Amino acid sequence: MTKPPAVLLLPALAGVAFLLVPLAGLLVRAPWADLPRQLLSAEVGEALRLSLITASLATIVCLLLGVPLAWLLARGDLPGRGILRALITVPLVLPPVVGGVALLLVLGRRGLVGQYLDEWFGVTLPFTTTGVVLAEAFVAMPFLVISVEGALRAADPRFEEAAATLGASRWLTFRRVTLPSVMPGVVAGTVLCWARALGEFGATITFAGNFPGRTTTMPLAVYLALETDPDAAIVLSIVLLLVSIAVLAGLRDRWISGPT
């Protein structure tokens, strides 16, 4: 390997420091002695449990809707596919708080759809746990769709033709041939989607509010605790950091070792 020029090396090292020092700071400032008590406290436990449940439910919603959507984008022969893909990826770059406002306008009690949900079924979504799930799914689904679509595009469609010549319907082909062959992409997309849902803040607090036990997920709890109990905020942050590292470790084959 050649010696990198200083003009590149120095900014690169600064970049590493910029990314890693704050995380190290979190560990340095952590109230280690007090950690077990904090971790086992009711507030932390409640927020953690709520986060895990809502993120998992949101991921299931994303899988049920996102995998067929990815298939449509990758294989479907529909006009305006490029535009559709662009629209679907909007939540990826949209500030989550805007997503939250949008959800509120549509699904809120006075919203375009929400008023009928309320009127006909007596269902209200904002400021409920279901609302948290919806907000998380809204923000996280593009991650899953993009990942699965990429895997589907990379998969050789001739295997689907081979299945067709053997008499398989398109649904059977999808289930038995296509889906298993893109499983690594689905798993990666699911993990990314789940991690994104777990860390969701902006859309959740806008659409679902911050009600402990009902809508206060871990990120919201961190924000809340920072005002009142900074040590608790650090503990919650460390838990989220550990979850993130675990996710990275789970995806190491795909990301850390580079493209294979």
Partner 1 sequence: MTLHAELRVTRGTFTLELDLTIEAGEVVALLGPNGAGKTTALRALAGLDAGGRVRHNGSTWDGLPAERRPIGVVFQDYLLFAHMTALDNVAFGPRARGVRKADANVVAAQRLEQVGLAGFAKAKPRTLSGGQAQRVALARALATDPELLLLDEPLAALDASTRLRVRSELARHLRDYPGHTLLVTHDPLDAMVLADRLVILEHGRVVQQGTPKDVVRQPRTDYVANLVGLNFYRGLADDTTIRLDDGGTLTVAEPATGPVHVVFPPTAVSLFPDKPSGSPRNTWPATVAGIEQHAHTTRVELDGSPAVVADITTATVADLRLQPGTTLWVSLKATEIHTYPAG
The footprint of partner 1 (CB under 8 A) covers 156, 158-159, 161-170, 172, 176-177, 180-181, 183
Tell me how far, at minimum, the Cβ of 169 lies from partner 1, in Å: 6
Residue 45 or 184: which CB sits closer to partner 1? 184
In the complex, minimum distance from the CB of residue 144 to partner 1, in angstroms, rounded to a whole number: 21
Closer CB to partner 1, 166 or 248, in the complex? 166
Least distance in angstroms from the C-beta of 167 to partner 1: 4
Q: Closest separation between CB of residue 151 and partner 1, Å?
A: 14
Q: Which CB atom, from 118 or from 160, has the smaller least distance to partner 1?
A: 160
Considering the complex, what minimum distance in angstroms separates the CB of residue 185 from partner 1? 13
Nearer to partner 1, 116 or 159 (CB): 159
Written in H, E and C, the secondary structure of the chain is CCCCCHHHHHHHHHHHHHHHHHHHHHHHCCCHHHHHHHHCCHHHHHHHHHHHHHHHHHHHHHHHHHHHHHHHHHHCCCCCHHHHHHHHCHHHHCCHHHHHHHHHHHHCCCCCCHHHHHHHHCCCCCCCHHHHHHHHHHHHHHHHHHHHHHHHHHCCCHHHHHHHHCCCCHHHHHHHHHHHHCHHHHHHHHHHHHHHHHCCCHHHHHHCCCCCCCCCCHHHHHHHHHHHCHHHHHHHHHHHHHHHHHHHHHCHHHHCCCCC
Residue 167 vs 258, nearer CB to partner 1: 167
